[in-house]
């Protein structure tokens, strides 16, 4: 008790002392407050209203009044005040005992002085005369993603993206710059740190900025690679500062954006019988089976199973970590980075891991010599079950899940179940996912060194040479083995144990695939740069030679029939022959070389009149020696009207107004293979018999054309840029026109099919025009302590085939000339038949019988040529728009208040159409699960079934139910406008909220900054396809695909 009393007295005295100490401290702080007054003006002496005045490292502040004056209490006469105002540079002014300040703020010319990365160099934004768009790393990091290409959606005008998959490690987007201008490939050229490389799997934390070269002036230095646009990625480099260490960690939770709802077991039984009734057939499923699927089966043979839930998890987790060091002095600067990304799949066993390391070092040697040493390495580890997630593959998890009866249990008597009308179809997606794998590992090494010498006796002249060496090495290992399953028979209601074969052979034996491929690229770039100013004259120039050599090779084999099934190596198999008895091995190699001479001259007078001339003389080994070299010139000019004397009266409102114009010619050699001008030899399996022996045949691949050369695109661009009200508002606008000729197309298109014979494989024979416009609007402002920004962009492009060599007997409605690229072909649908009398009095598909095969509820097709019958060869025509959008737009809005920041980003696309599942080359959309009910006698999406035509539901969205394929009597499985839908959409692409801790709290523990963030991606989508459970970016020709992902991410960034 005495001890407790002493303890109480001690605690009481301690609290009294603590209270007194706190009282005197607060009193001293209160009496230490100093009142400071002042006035803030601009460089012309005009008062500035609403300037933020803040005591550094605190939240204590005020704003200037209508006279530009302020009064503020500060904790010390030696405090530092921070002055900030939209359109002006931030100033930090120490009081040094003063109680009154006169502050003159300088206008922020950052927008005008912004450095833009262009081909083989940089330019100030104010001097750029071509069409270039740029995004910085801070804007990329607002979204969670493992693939850089998907981060660019909607961010830049003129850039179109389409992300068709959410598969870990393969969730990138296809990219096009300013739409489509050719019949074949038109992808942009990708350049990373001056060398042609892919950037999809770079660590986003390593990127400094991304630029897009859109017109001929900007892209001319890339010559034959420039027609599809050029995307330049610049990684971060060191700066002069003490070493700064930054760690970034992110944890994400992912789930499907959309996925169609399929029929459950009881509904499958009910609707399948209904489809048989609509075909005029008897039901195959009994009422007893329906009751067991609905209420349960005591024997355990029947069970309502959602096979999609069996292979797809409700969600998955991803983690991303990066640590980098940035620092250096005047002699050596460095940026070092290491990153790790781990993505678990929604589908079990579909995982991806990526490891990135990078070192960028800049060394300033004596006497004007400079050395840049860059080294990067990456490993991409992709794992998957024995599935293919290709939307065109039958070995697709969604397709396999739809092929198993949804009224079967996952296992019966300890074995996986299978069930199908065709007993040879032993589909079970869970089995496929767990008894085999298909894994690959890609190792990438990228290195480059640049040596530069700035001549001391010629100001602005620099000689340089850059060399790079890249190597990609991929190893693929795949295993598949037969597995015992219980196969259900609907007639006898019994299971039979069978062996299902998952291997690449048909012999019910194990198979193992091991394949290696490697790719090398060597680049050499000697160059001369010059830049100098003579009074009002700014002159700069570049001359560069570039040589690039690419070599590749691959080798692989398949071994089968393993005695020891746990040792997955080729030499453990008993055979390497395929089903035809041929050795199942392969190997080949490739080589490609490109060289070019680059020149560019820039001239500016008085910072008002700007001219740029650029050209590249390019050679490509894809073409015959006589057609290998080409010249690609461009010219551009700019006029800064805002610098003219007559504009001085508006200078206070409009800081910058520049007009731009450019014209030039670019090339494209992507639409022809290597050595297409040579007769290539082909090898066939044993097909020639001499006596009773078989022999391998070797033959030439057909006629060749030694006169082919690259496509040529003449590009014209007009634009203007405007910035006014101290940078509060900005406008950029461009209009472009592209005319592509000598398009590389198949030689067969030059002749009618009835002529017969062999045709040249590839010819130059087509013309396409493409025009469009781009608009960027920006607004930045600060109200009190809230800074906000809004930036929207829009890009529209439309193409037209001007010339296409087509057979003269082709009907006008089937000719491509005058059409847009990407339009699909099919029948024009005119409704659904409502009666047998209507069928008898209407032209119908000529290969099907009326009434017995064409029935009420089937689609009515338009007889375009009026011959009284409907045939795809005669009545197909072009339908709708391309699946690649003509219009893409984005809107980013952000705000910050004190230590909080938030941003939202909307992205959308319009003027695009898709078939619900696409169309194959033969014109059918039948061979997919999204348009034909009970495709392959399997399950169906609920939307396709429940609003199908019946005599009681004639105003339906979909045709009648049927179990018949188009090839054998289904009239509805053909490509037609009935299956076409508007695929325009608007997404809430990203939303982020963050909090940055006050630096004053962190310096004591050695930290410079700590930031917490929460980010969401693909949060909401507005689309007419929502009701089907189909993502608007889902791929066409779809047998099922890996769904796009909605992501919720927590992030932590710490800077030491």
- State the pLDDT at residue 269: 96
CATH number for 34-108: choose from 3.40.50.1220, 2.60.40.1120, 2.102.10.10, 2.40.30.10: 2.60.40.1120
Residues 115-165 have pLDDT tens digits of 888 889 988 888 899 999 999 888 888 888 677 888 888 889 998 888 888
Here the contacts of 1021-1024 (C-beta below 8 Å, separation 24 or greater) are 1021/257, 1021/258, 1021/985, 1021/986, 1021/987, 1021/988, 1022/985, 1022/986, 1022/987, 1023/983, 1023/984, 1023/985, 1023/986, 1024/981, 1024/982, 1024/983, 1024/984
pLDDT recorded at residue 499: 81
For the residues 546-571, what does the mean pLDDT come to? 93
- Strands (E) across 784-879 are located at 786-804, 824-826, 829-832, 859-861, 877-879
Under 8 Å between Cβ of 455 and 532:
no
The band of 666, judged by pLDDT with boundaries at 50, 70 and 90, is very high
CA separation for the pair 101, 94 (Å, rounded): 10
With respect to CATH, is domain 109-236+606-675+705-799 assigned 3.65.10.10?
Answer: no
Nearest one of 149, 119, 115 to 230, comparing CA atoms: 119
Nearest to 916 by CA among 972, 967, 866: 972
Measured CA to CA, the distance from residue 918 to residue 417 in angstroms comes to 31
Residue 967 pLDDT level (bands cut at 50, 70, 90): low
Q: Determine the Cα–Cα distance for residues 946 and 262; give it in Å rounded to an integer.
A: 11
* End-to-end Cα distance, the chain: 51
pLDDT at 824: 85
Q: Which whole number is the average pLDDT over 651-660?
A: 89
User: Residue-wise over 521-541: b if at least 16 C-beta within 10 A, else e?
Assistant: bebebebebbeeeeeeebebb
Give the lowest-confidence range in 163-177, 214-228, 1013-1027.
163-177
* Three-class secondary structure of residue 1016 per DSSP: strand
And the tokens for 449?
């060194």
**Which residue has better confidence, 746 or 97?**
97
Per the rule left: phi > 0, alpha: psi between -120 and 50, beta: everything else, 899 is alpha
The arrangement of strands across the sheet holding 411-412 comes to 411-412, 415-419, 483-489, 494-500
CA 291, CA 267: separation in Å to the nearest integer? 11
In this prediction, what percent of the chain has a pLDDT beyond 70? 90
Place of tokens 């490292």: 57
| Residue range(s) of every CATH 2.170.130.10 domain in the chain | 109-236+606-675+705-799
Mean pLDDT, rounded, for 5-14: 45
Tell me how far apart the alpha carbons of residues 270 and 826 are, in angstroms, rounded to a whole number: 32
Backbone angles phi, psi at 960, to 5 degrees: -65, 160
Confidence of residue 28 (pLDDT cuts 50, 70, 90): very low
Cα torsion through 933, 935, 936, 940, rounded to 10: -80
Q: Is the pLDDT of residue 735 over 60?
A: yes
Q: Are 72 and 36 in contact (CB under 8 A)?
A: yes
Of 195-199, 853-857, 999-1003, least confident by mean pLDDT is 999-1003
**Residue 754 pLDDT grade (very low, low, confident, very high; cuts 50, 70, 90):** very low
Using only C-alpha atoms, the chain has a radius of gyration, in whole angstroms, of: 34
Angle ∠(274,277,281) on CA atoms, nearest 5: 135
Taking all residues of the chain, what is their mean pLDDT, rounded to a whole number?
87
Is the Cα torsion angle 866, 867, 869, 870 positive or negative in sign? negative
68 token code pair: 């530009």
Q: For 25-180, where are the E strands, in sequence order?
A: 34-41, 52-55, 61-63, 69-74, 80-84, 91-94, 100-104, 115-118, 121-124, 132-136, 159-162, 174-177
| pLDDT tier for residue 966 given thresholds of 50, 70 and 90 | low
What mean pLDDT is predicted for residues 862-878?
92
Point out which residues pair with 736 in neighbouring strands: 717, 772
Output the DSSP codes for 335-360: EEEEEEEEEE-SBTT-EEEEEEEEEE
Residue 368 banded pLDDT, cuts 50, 70, 90: confident
Q: Is the pLDDT of residue 482 over 80?
A: yes
Does residue 247 carry a pLDDT above 90? yes
User: In this predicted structure, what is the pLDDT of residue 1?
Assistant: 44
Q: Of the given ranges (674-678, 718-722, 944-948), which has the lowest mean pLDDT?
A: 674-678
Cross-sheet strand order for the sheet of 100-104 = 69-74, 34-41, 100-104
| CA atoms of 951 and 829, how far apart (whole Å) | 20
The pLDDT of residue 6: 47
Is there a contact between 200 and 172 (Cβ–Cβ < 8 Å)? yes
Q: What is the pLDDT of residues 784-817, one digit of tens each?
A: 888 899 999 999 999 999 988 777 788 889 998 9
The answer to whether the beta carbons of residues 369 and 451 sit under 8 Å apart is yes
Q: What angle do CA 349, 354, 358 make, to 5 degrees?
A: 175
Structure tokens at 527: 């160059």
Least confident segment among 381-390, 576-585, 920-929 = 920-929
pLDDT of 1002: 74
Residues 44-58: what's their mean pLDDT?
Answer: 81
The residues of the chain that CATH labels 2.60.40.1120 are 34-108
Between 133 and 580, the higher pLDDT residue: 133
Write down the pLDDT at residue 393.
Answer: 67
d(CA 586, CA 592): 21
Is the pLDDT at 872 greater than 70? The verdict is yes
């Amino acid at each position: 008790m005495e001890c407790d009393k002493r303890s109480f007295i001690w605690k009481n005295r301690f609290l009294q002392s603590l209270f007194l100490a706190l009282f005197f401290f607060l009193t001293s702080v209160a009496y230490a407050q100093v009142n400071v007054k002042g006035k803030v003006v601009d460089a012309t002496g005009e008062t500035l209203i609403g300037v933020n005045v803040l005591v550094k490292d605190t939240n204590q502040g005020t704003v200037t009044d209508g006279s530009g004056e302020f009064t503020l209490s500060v904790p010390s006469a030696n405090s530092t005040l921070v002055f900030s105002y939209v359109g002006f540079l931030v100033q930090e002014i120490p009081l040094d005992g003063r109680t009154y300040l006169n502050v003159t703020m300088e206008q922020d010319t950052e927008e005008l002085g912004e450095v833009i990365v262009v081909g083989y160099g940089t330019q100030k934004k104010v001097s750029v005369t071509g069409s270039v768009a740029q995004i910085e790393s801070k804007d990329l990091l607002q979204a969670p993603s493992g693939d850089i290409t998907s981060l660019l959606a909607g961010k830049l005008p003129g850039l179109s993206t389409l992300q068709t998959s959410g598969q870990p490690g393969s969730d990138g987007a296809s990219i096009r710059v300013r739409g489509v201008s050719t019949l074949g490939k038109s992808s942009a050229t990708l350049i990373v740190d001056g060398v042609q490389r892919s950037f999809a799997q770079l660590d986003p934390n390593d990127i400094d900025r991304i630029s897009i070269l859109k017109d001929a002036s900007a892209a001319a230095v890339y010559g034959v690679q420039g027609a599809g646009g050029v995307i330049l990625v610049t990684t971060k480099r060191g700066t002069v500062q003490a070493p700064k260490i930054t760690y970034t960690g992110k944890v994400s939770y992912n789930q499907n954006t959309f996925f169609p709802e399929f029929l459950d077991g009881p509904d499958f039984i009910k609707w399948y019988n209904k489809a048989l009734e609509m075909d005029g057939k008897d039901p195959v499923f009994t009422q007893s089976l329906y009751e067991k699927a609905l209420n349960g089966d005591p024997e355990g043979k029947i069970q309502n199973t959602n096979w999609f839930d069996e292979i797809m998890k409700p969600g998955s987790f991803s983690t991303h970590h990066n640590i980098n060091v940035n620092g250096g002095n005047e002699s050596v600067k460095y940026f070092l980075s290491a990153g790790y990304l781990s993505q678990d799949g929604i589908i079990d066993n579909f995982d991806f891991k990526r490891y990135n390391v990078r070192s960028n070092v800049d060394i300033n040697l004596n006497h004007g010599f400079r050395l840049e040493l860059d080294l990067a390495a990456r490993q991409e580890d992709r794992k998957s079950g024995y599935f293919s997630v290709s939307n065109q593959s039958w070995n697709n998890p969604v397709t396999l899940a739809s092929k198993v009866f949804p009224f079967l249990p996952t296992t019966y008597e300890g074995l996986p179940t299978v069930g199908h009308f065709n007993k040879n179809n032993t589909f079970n997606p869970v089995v496929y996912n767990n008894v085999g794998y298909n894994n690959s590992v890609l190792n990438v090494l990228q290195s480059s060194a640049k040596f530069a010498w700035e001549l001391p006796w010629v100001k602005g002249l620099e000689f340089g040479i850059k060399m790079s060496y890249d190597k990609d090495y991929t190893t693929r290992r795949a295993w598949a083995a037969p597995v015992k399953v219980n196969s259900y028979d609907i007639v006898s209601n019994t299971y039979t144990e069978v062996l299902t074969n998952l291997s690449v052979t048909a012999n019910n034996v194990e198979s193992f695939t091991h394949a290696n491929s490697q790719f090398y690229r060597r680049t050499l770039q000697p160059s001369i740069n010059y830049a100098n100013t003579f009074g009002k004259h700014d002159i700069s120039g570049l001359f560069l030679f570039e040589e690039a050599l690419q070599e590749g090779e691959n080798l692989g084999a398949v071994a089968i029939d393993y005695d020891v099934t746990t040792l997955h190596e080729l030499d453990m198999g008993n055979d390497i022959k395929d089903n035809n008895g041929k050795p199942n091995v392969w190997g080949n190699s490739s080589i490609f070389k490109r060289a070019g001479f680059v020149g560019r001259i820039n001239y500016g007078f008085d910072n008002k009149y700007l001219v740029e001339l650029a050209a590249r003389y390019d050679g490509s080994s894809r073409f015959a020696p006589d057609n290998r070299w080409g010249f690609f010139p461009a010219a551009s000019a700019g006029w800064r009207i805002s610098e003219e004397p007559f504009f001085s009266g508006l200078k206070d409102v409009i800081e910058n107004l520049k007009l731009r114009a450019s014209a030039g010619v670019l090339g494209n050699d992507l639409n022809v293979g290597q050595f297409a001008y040579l007769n290539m030899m082909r090898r066939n399996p044993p097909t020639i018999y001499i006596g009773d022996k078989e022999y391998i045949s070797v033959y030439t691949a057909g006629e060749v054309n030694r006169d082919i050369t690259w496509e040529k695109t003449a590009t014209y661009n007009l634009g203007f840029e405007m910035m006014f009200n101290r940078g509060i508002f900005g406008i950029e606008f461009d209009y472009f026109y592209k005319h592509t000729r000598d398009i590389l197309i198949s030689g067969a298109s030059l002749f009618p099919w009835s002529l017969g014979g062999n045709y040249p494989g590839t010819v130059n024979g087509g013309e396409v025009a493409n025009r469009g416009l781009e608009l960027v609007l920006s607004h930045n402002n600060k109200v009190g302590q809230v800074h906000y920004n809004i930036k929207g962009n829009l890009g529209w492009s439309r193409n037209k085939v001007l010339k296409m060599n087509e057979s003269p007997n082709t009907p006008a409605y089937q000719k491509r000339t005058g059409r847009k690229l990407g339009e699909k072909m099919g029948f024009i649908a005119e409704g659904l038949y409502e009666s047998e009398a209507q069928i008898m009095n209407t032209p119908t598909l000529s290969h099907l019988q009326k009434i017995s095969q064409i029935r009420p509820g089937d689609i009515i097709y338009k007889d375009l040529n009026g011959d009284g019958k409907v045939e795809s060869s005669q009545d197909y025509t072009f339908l709708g728009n391309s699946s690649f959008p003509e219009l893409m737009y984005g809107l980013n809005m952000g705000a910050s208040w004190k230590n909080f920041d938030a941003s939202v980003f909307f992205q959308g696309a319009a003027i695009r159409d898709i078939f619900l599942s696409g169309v194959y080359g033969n014109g059918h959309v039948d061979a997919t699960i999204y348009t034909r009910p009970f495709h392959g006698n399997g399950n169906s999406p609920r939307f396709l079934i429940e609003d199908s035509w019946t005599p009681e539901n004639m105003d339906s969205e979909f045709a009648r139910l049927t179990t018949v394929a188009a090839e054998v009597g289904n009239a509805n499985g053909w490509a037609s406008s009935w299956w076409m839908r508007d695929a325009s959409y608007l997404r809430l692409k990203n939303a982020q909220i963050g909090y940055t801790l006050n630096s004053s709290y962190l310096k004591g523990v050695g930290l410079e900054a700590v930031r917490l963030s929460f980010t969401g991606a693909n949060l909401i989508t507005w689309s007419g396809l929502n009701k089907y459970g189909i993502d608007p970016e889902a791929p066409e020709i779809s047998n099922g695909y890996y769904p796009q992902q909605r992501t919720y991410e927590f992030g932590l960034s710490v800077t030491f």
